[in-house]
Chain A
Amino acid sequence: MSINIADPMAEAANLGAKLRAALRLDDVDFSDVDPPSVLGFSALDGLVKVNPATLKALLGVSAFIQTLLNDADQATALTTLGAQPINVLLTALAALTTANGKIIKATGLNTVAMMDVIGTVAYLGGVAGALYEEGSYANGTYIRLACNLQICHYLDATGQSTDTVAGPLFQSAAAMTWSFPAPFASAAVFAINSPNALARWGQKAAPTATAVNFRQLGVSNNATLVPQHCFAIGPWR
């Protein structure tokens, strides 16, 4: 393409016409001519004198975004958008991947991590595993809490009799050893057996960290095997 440098203004108008055709600006209504210097090319008459309202409409700028375009500063723009300023904690939260059965825990100032609600409980100067752990075995169920409490329960469906003289009362001939489904930290554990019958109650020998011996006591010599609930509660770490 040659440029007629003898008449730069005519050449500019010529280029402007070509540009108009390329941009299909002839379809735009330029009748409402705005400040000719809006783009700093007042010499290119006709190309730059675009009606701002028409241009916004052409670009698909919504009425809402137009209210953002004239915001003076970031704070005003954030308010217009209803957005929160950049925040270290929010950024850390945004980096997490959530999953079913998990919750978010703080691991320090502005640091977060996902953790299991149910899973293996661990405590290493802080909650290092799940919030609580549970298990159901042949010898009962247990729930272990991160706060250092553990509860074991077992329904002894076989039960025990009270057919052996024990002073003025009667007791089970042999002890029933209940091994806890999960061990405690020490023998400092509260254990109790509760028979499912009137005039029967439980008695125990000193437990270990892992088991306890139960017998039943009764007011009468009774060979009936009475099922019983067994509980043990204590610290696990």
Chain B
Amino acid sequence: MIITLIPQRRDTTLVVSRAGDTLLINGEEFDFSVIPDGASLPGRAVPCAMIEDLSIIDRIDGVLHLSLYLPLGANPPPEARFPAPIVNPPDGPIDLPVTHIEPEAGNA
């Protein structure tokens, strides 16, 4: 599984965990095991605000490829603004970049 993170300015958060081909995205379960090898699924078929309608979820050589929006608040650090893809994350909660740095005290 390869998850591409697309940074986008949003006031929401993203919490993802994996169980095989199933992703729990912000508390909602999405089972991608229905996509056979070589097939693709349009993003609009997945009712999830973190998956772009125009994106494509596909399985190439047995590897599931999908992209998720990484919602960024104010003042995101570089690793959130230019996120690396997540390759074969283990089952369980997926580590995501920190998307918000609290402003220093007295600097608000």
Using a CB–CB distance below 8 Å, which chain A residues touch chain B? 119-120, 133, 135-139, 142, 144, 175, 177, 179-183, 205, 208, 210-213
Instruction: Please report which residues of chain B, range 78-98, place their CB below 8 angstroms from some CB of chain A when the two chains form the complex.
Output: 81-83
Residue of B nearest to A182 (CB): B9
Interface residues on B, range: 10 to 19
Q: Nearest 6 pairs between A and B by C-beta?
A: A182-B9, A137-B7, A138-B82, A120-B74, A179-B6, A137-B81
A14 to B6, CA, bound (A): 96
B66 at the interface (CB under 8 A from A): no
Instruction: Please report which residues of chain B, range 44-85, place their CB below 8 angstroms from some CB of chain A when the two chains form the complex.
Output: 52-56, 67, 69, 72, 74, 76, 81-83
A137 to B52, CA, bound (A): 17
**A119–B83 touching, CB < 8 Å:** no
Given the interface contacts A119-B74, A137-B72, A142-B9, does A177 sit within 8 Å of B55 by beta carbon? yes
**A208–B9 touching, CB < 8 Å:** no
Given the interface contacts A135-B81, A136-B81, A137-B72, does A211 sit within 8 Å of B9 by beta carbon? no
Given A133-B74, A177-B54, A210-B69, 12 more pairs with CB closer than 8 A: A120-B74, A137-B7, A137-B81, A138-B83, A139-B7, A179-B69, A181-B7, A182-B8, A183-B9, A205-B54, A210-B53, A211-B55
**B54–A208 touching, CB < 8 Å:** yes
Closest chain A CB from B5 CB (angstroms): 9
A147 to B63, CA, bound (A): 45
Please, which residues of chain B bring their CB within 8 A of the CB of A177?
52, 54-56
Closest chain B CB from A104 CB (angstroms): 17
**B72–A211 touching, CB < 8 Å:** no
Most A CB atoms within 10 A — which of B54, B69, B81? B54
Please, which residues of chain A bring their CB within 8 A of the CB of B74?
119-120, 133
Residue of B nearest to A213 (CB): B54
Please, which residues of chain B bring their CB within 8 A of the CB of A212?
54
Most B CB atoms within 10 A — which of A119, A135, A183? A135
Most A CB atoms within 10 A — which of B8, B52, B56? B8
Closest chain A CB from B72 CB (angstroms): 7
Closest chain A CB from B97 CB (angstroms): 11
Please, which residues of chain B bring their CB within 8 A of the CB of A138?
6-7, 81-83
Most B CB atoms within 10 A — which of A133, A136, A144, A212? A136
Instruction: Please report which residues of chain B, range 1-42, place their CB below 8 angstroms from some CB of chain A when the two chains form the complex.
Output: 6-10
**A139–B6 touching, CB < 8 Å:** yes
Please, which residues of chain B bring their CB within 8 A of the CB of A136?
81
Given the interface contacts A119-B74, A208-B52, A208-B54, does A181 sit within 8 Å of B83 by beta carbon? no
**B82–A211 touching, CB < 8 Å:** no
A119 to B74, CA, bound (A): 8
A202 to B82, CA, bound (A): 26
Most A CB atoms within 10 A — which of B9, B54, B69? B9
A180 to B7, CA, bound (A): 9
Closest chain B CB from A69 CB (angstroms): 45
**A183–B10 touching, CB < 8 Å:** yes
